[in-house]
Amino acid sequence: MKATQTNSKSNTTKLVITAMLSAVAVALQYIEVSIPIVPSFLKLDFSDIPELIGAFIIGPVGGVVICLLKNLIHMLATNSFGVGELSNFLLGAVFSVVAGLIYKHKKTKVTALIACVSAAFAMAAVCIPINYFLIYPIYAQLWAGGDMNVIISMYKAIVPASDTLLKSLLIFNLPFTFVK
């Protein structure tokens, strides 16, 4: 009986932590900052911080659940038809899993820093294939009549050398995602 009560209390605690951090993540997702040197559709927000905290406190799966809930709620109030949220979820899930798995093995400040930097590298690395093969083709279909050049022209207006999607992702999205 005692083990059941302890397990039930632990599950309740995890549920409350997940709910609270999801709520904070949703609020932070609405505080977006435009960055002048990137196309206007790339905005910086701090909603990955609660996911990271969740991954450290309750584990990598907890961070992913917080990321999922945040994006499902945010999807109700955006005009991206869920594509922006899909991208945010996929990249945030990578970030949470990598950081959570590293931190899980040794919970120190140094390990937390290593986990964050490693997770940022992982998220930046996967942003290229995710955006190239999935997100940008969907965006092109929904908003540009299937013409990827419409999207590329937004990048070219800032840096003329970014004349292909891959170059644009490498010049803008890779560093943006790492810094985020």
Do residues 59 and 87 touch, judged by C-beta distance below 8 A? no
In the chain, what are the domains? Answer: 2-179 (1.10.1760.20)
Mean pLDDT for all residues in the chain: 92
pLDDT of res. 41: 73
Lowest mean pLDDT among 10-14, 37-41, 50-54, 167-171: 37-41
Query: pTM for the whole thing?
Result: 0.90
Q: In this prediction, what percent of the chain has a pLDDT beyond 90? A: 75
